C-alpha cells in the first residue's frame, strides 16, 4: 500500500530544525565522541526530546509516521556528522520498527513501539560467529518450554548491544534447514532478561561511539508473546524485509557522509596553497572533486528512485541492494580521493580526512557486503530470465 508519510510542511520544518541541530550541536561534539567512544548523555537526552528515536513509528504508537523517502531524508541529515549519532537511532527507526510494524501482533506493537519511539534503544540480533548472510548455518536455538521458549546462542557484531534495552533475536525453532528459511523465528527479548549478557565492546577500525558487541543468550526464557507475530518461521522474512530499509539507510548514510567528505575536501582545496595558489586550481585536484560530485549525484538519484518505489508499495529487493552497493562503494572512493586531496595531512589524525577514511570503510560491509548485494541482484535477474538459482 502507498505510504503518504508526514505532512510535507511539517516534515520540511522538522528537517530544517534537524539540520541546525546537526550543524550547531553534533558536529562540534564529534571530537568528544571520538575521545569517549559513545554519544554523550546530554546529547542523547536532547535526541530523545526531539523525538528522533520514533520518526518512522506509526503516529498511533507515538511516532512521527515518516514514509521511506522521508526516513531516508532523515538518515541523510543525521549522517552528515560522525556515524555514532545515526547508529544509535538507526536500529530503532529502521530494522526493528520495520519488523514489529510489519509482522508484530497488535499487543507487541502497543507494548514495544511507544517505548522505542520514546528512546529505549533496540538491537538487531541476526549475525553469529559462524553465520551472517547464511541463515542455514544459524546455531541459536529457541526450544519450546511451557508457554514460552528457551533460547541459547551467541550473536556477533551487534550494533547498540552495550546499551540496548531490547534485542530482536533471530533463532532456529526447528533443527532442520527447512525450505525458504522456515526454521528461523524472531523473538522480542528484553536486555535485562535473565541469561542475557553482553560481551566487551569490540575495538573497531573506525566509527568511534557506534558500539558493537556479542550478545550471549544462556537459557533465556521468554513468554510465548515474545515470538514476533505469534508465529514460528517468519523470522527470516521479517529480517529480509527490514534489511531492505537497512540497506536504504546505509545507502543514505553513504551519500551524506560522502557529501561531508567532499565539502571538507573542497574547503581544503580552496585554502591549501602550493606554488603560490590554491591547490583547487590544479586540474588533477579538480578531476577528483568532479568525479566525487558526479558519483554522489548518481547514488542519490538511485536512492531517491528506490525510496519512491517503496512508498508506492513496490517490492524493492533489487533496487535496495543496487542502491546500497553503489552508494557504499562510491563513498569509499570519495573517502580515498579526499585523503589524496589533503595529501600528507590526510594521513594525520589531527585532520578530519583520516577519520573519514576509516569511518567510511564499514558501509561496504554491513547490511550485507557488496558481494552479497551482487548475488541478490544477479539471482533476481536470473530468476526473471527463467533460470532457477
pLDDT tens readout for residues 104-151: 999 999 999 999 999 999 999 999 998 766 666 889 999 999 999 999
Catalytic-labelled residue, pool 128, 232, 354, 367: 367
- Would you state the pLDDT for residue 177? 63
Query: In this predicted model, what pLDDT tens digit does every residue of 322-375 receive, in sequence order?
Result: 999 999 999 999 999 999 999 999 999 999 999 999 999 999 998 889 999 999
- Cα distance between residue 312 and residue 323, in whole Å: 17
Tell me the three cell numbers of residue 174.
526447528
8-120 CATH: 1.10.540.10
- Would you state the pLDDT for residue 132? 67
Full-model pTM: 0.92
Element (H, E) at 294: helix 283-311
- Would you state the pLDDT for residue 1? 64
- Cα dihedral 183, 242, 330, 54 in deg (nearest 10): -150
171-to-42, 122, 138, 197, 268 alpha-carbon distances in Å: 36, 17, 7, 16, 49
Structural domain boundaries of the chain? Answer: 8-120, 123-231, 237-384
Q: Which residues of the chain have pLDDT under 70?
A: 1, 132-136, 177-180
Element (H, E) at 184: strand 184-190
- Would you state the pLDDT for residue 133? 63
- Cα distance between residue 337 and residue 202, in whole Å: 28
Known active-site residue 9: no
What b/e sequence results for 212-233 when a residue is b if at least 16 CB atoms lie within 10 Å of its CB, and e otherwise?
bbbbbbeebebeeebbbbeebb
Fold for domain 237-384?
A: Butyryl-CoA Dehydrogenase, subunit A; domain 3 (1.20.140)
- Would you state the pLDDT for residue 180? 66
Q: DSSP assignment of 227-250, as one string?
A: BGGG-TT-HHHHHHHHHHHHHHHH
| The CATH number of domain 123-231 is 2.40.110.10 | yes
Amino acid at each position: 500500500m502507498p505510504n503518504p508519510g508526514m505532512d510535507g510542511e511539517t516534515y520540511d520544518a522538522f528537517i530544517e530544525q534537524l539540520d541546525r541541530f546537526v550543524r550547531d550541536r553534533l558536529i562540534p561534539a564529534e571530537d568528544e565522541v571520538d575521545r569517549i567512544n559513545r554519544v554523550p548523555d546530554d546529547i542523547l537526552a536532547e535526541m530523545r526530546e526531539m523525538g528522533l528515536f520514533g520518526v518512522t513509528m506509526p503516529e498511533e504508537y507515538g511516532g512521527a509516521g515518516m514514509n521511506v523517502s522521508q526516513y531516508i531524508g532523515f538518515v541523510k541529515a543525521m549522517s552528515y556528522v560522525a556515524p555514532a549519532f545515526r547508529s544509535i537511532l538507526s536500529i530503532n527507526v529502521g530494522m526493528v520498527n520495520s519488523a514489529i510494524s510489519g509482522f508484530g501482533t497488535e499487543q507487541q506493537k502497543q507494548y514495544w513501539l511507544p517505548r522505542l519511539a520514546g528512546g529505549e534503544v533496540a538491537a538487531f540480533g541476526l549475525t553469529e560467529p559462524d553465520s551472517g548472510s547464511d541463515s542455514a548455518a544459524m546455531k541459536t536455538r529457541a526450544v519450546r518450554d511451557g508457554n514460552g521458549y528457551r533460547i541459547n546462542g551467541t550473536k556477533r557484531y551487534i550494533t547498540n548491544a552495550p546499551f540496548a534495552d531490547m534485542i530482536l533475536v533471530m533463532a532456529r525453532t526447528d533443527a532442520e534447514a527447512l525450505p525458504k528459511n522456515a526454521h528461523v523465528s524472531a523473538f522480542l527479548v528484553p536486555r535485562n532478561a535473565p541469561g542475557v549478557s553482553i560481551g566487551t565492546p569490540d575495538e573497531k577500525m573506525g566509527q568511534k561511539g557506534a558500539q558493537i558487541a556479542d550478545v550471549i543468550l544462556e537459557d533465556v526464557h521468554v513468554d510465548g508473546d515474545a515470538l514476533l507475530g505469534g508465529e514460528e518461521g517468519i523470522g527470516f522474512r521479517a529480517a529480509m524485509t527490514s534489511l531492505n530499509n537497512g540497506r536504504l539507510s546505509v545507502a543514505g548514510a553513504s551519500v551524506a557522509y560522502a557529501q561531508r567528505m567532499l565539502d571538507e575536501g573542497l574547503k581544503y582545496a580552496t585554502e591549501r596553497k602550493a606554488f603560490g595558489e590554491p591547490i583547487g586550481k590544479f586540474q588533477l585536484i579538480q578531476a577528483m572533486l568532479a568525479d566525487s560530485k558526479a558519483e554522489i549525484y548518481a547514488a542519490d538519484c538511485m536512492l531517491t528512485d528506490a525510496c519512491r518505489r517503496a512508498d508506492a508499495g513496490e517490492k524493492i529487493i533489487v533496487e535496495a541492494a543496487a542502491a546500497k552497493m553503489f552508494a557504499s562503494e562510491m563513498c569509499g572512493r570519495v573517502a580515498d580521493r579526499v585523503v589524496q586531496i589533503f595529501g600528507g595531512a590526510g594521513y594525520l589524525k589531527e585532520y578530519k580526512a583520516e577519520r573519514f577514511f576509516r569511518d567510511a570503510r564499514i558501509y561496504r560491509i554491513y547490511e550485507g557486503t557488496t558481494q552479497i548485494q551482487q548475488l541478490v541482484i544477479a539471482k533476481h535477474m536470473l530468476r526473471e530470465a527463467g533460470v532457477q538459482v
